[in-house]
Amino acid sequence: MWSPTREPDSRSRAKTTAFSLFRPFSTPVSEPGPDAPSLDSAAAWLVAGATFLSTFTVFGVAYSFGSFFRPMAEEFDADRGTIALVFSITTLLYFGLGVVSGRAADRFGPRPVLLFGAVALVVGLVVTSRVESITVGYVTYGLGVGIGVACGYVPMVATVGGWFDRHRSTAVGLAVAGIGAGTLVVAPLAERLIDSRGWRTTYLYLAAASAVLLAVAAIGARRPPVMAGTSGPAPILQQIRSNRAFGVLYLAILGISAGLFVPFVFMADYVAEQGIDGSGGLIVGLIGLCSVVGRLGLGALAARVSPMALFYGSLATMAASYLIWLTAGDRYGQLVVFALVLGVAYGGFIALSPVVAAELFGTVGLGGVLGALYTAAGVGGFIGPPTAGALIDRFGYSPTLVATTAVSALGASTYFALARH
């Protein structure tokens, strides 16, 4: 998840730092040969396209989990909190392992890392389709999809950043748009397949499609050209341990993420619970679609308006959007409005996070700082859905959505204190 940061006008300095932003540790570098592709070349756009395909696939699979939620709960006779933990373990792993997969891509290149993730994803889905216990599913789905997303997301997006100079923001915007597009396509498609084929067969279909799409993406996964003299940033702990802003921003992201994944997991269940004539998977898909608008629109707007203020606006809007869901009842149209509002704000949250981090911590070593910050999203995603599931089972949806709104508002207000300071 990369958005344009304010860089010096000096072309030489931009080229020196362009790739180092994504290098978590120092590795030997050498000048590209005379026949090697250059920055912003056709080869660079091929890498951006491959990254779009990669993020489309891995997040399409991960964010379609809500469509599987109810049939899995019924088959395993499990409560909502127990089933939601499958998604939460996955979220914790792919955000937590992003730092590891990024380092591996620096050392071995993005292609072997992506292929490793593809194997993990496909095997995880195939084995999950055969599990007879939800406890086993924690391991098969959690590890398989968690590793798959970690290998198909952070290393690939970081690679795109290294391939571009003049068009970096556009290229990375295209690359991460795959997240929203994958959510839009796969979530409702999975819902239809489950209705006609069952959830186990649907996982096999997703495994086969993922194998093909990630194999194609791997063709375009190439190590970027690097500039002579590039050096690695300071260790991550050295960059953040004396900066109080890191802790405040970490708590803000944790709070907002605890609420963010609730609709991804429970929307299809909510639609069925309310007896609404409509698709819960489509609501999740609309969140993904509108997040693309937020990523591109608010990311571009940050070049003209204070990114700190835009980021706070995104967090506050995300928190307030749950009130739309809370008052929707059985009105499907209002759920669509909720998806539109949350999706745009969510896209802004994703696009502006690197910009805010650059304002607070500088650009050198930004990739490592972001990797550390994104573990907050993993922790929030690990805590939020299972807690929401337990609350829904005991109290119902309305009190749970009130709690979701409160936690998200706490995250937004935490960041507001930082922005004012």
pLDDT at 109: 87
Q: Flag whether pLDDT at 133 surpasses 50.
A: yes
| pLDDT tens by residue, 29-84 | 334 455 567 787 888 899 999 999 999 999 999 999 989 999 999 999 999 999 99
Residue 320 vs residues 290, 310, 360: alpha-carbon distances, Å: 16, 15, 26
- In order of their start, the domains of the chain are 38-223 (1.20.1250.20), 236-421 (1.20.1250.20)
What is the tens place of the pLDDT at every residue in 270-307? 999 999 999 999 999 999 999 988 888 887 787 788 88
Q: Which residue has the tokens 């203020």?
A: 309
**Which tens digit of pLDDT belongs to each residue from 187-226?**
999 999 999 999 999 999 999 999 999 999 999 999 888 6
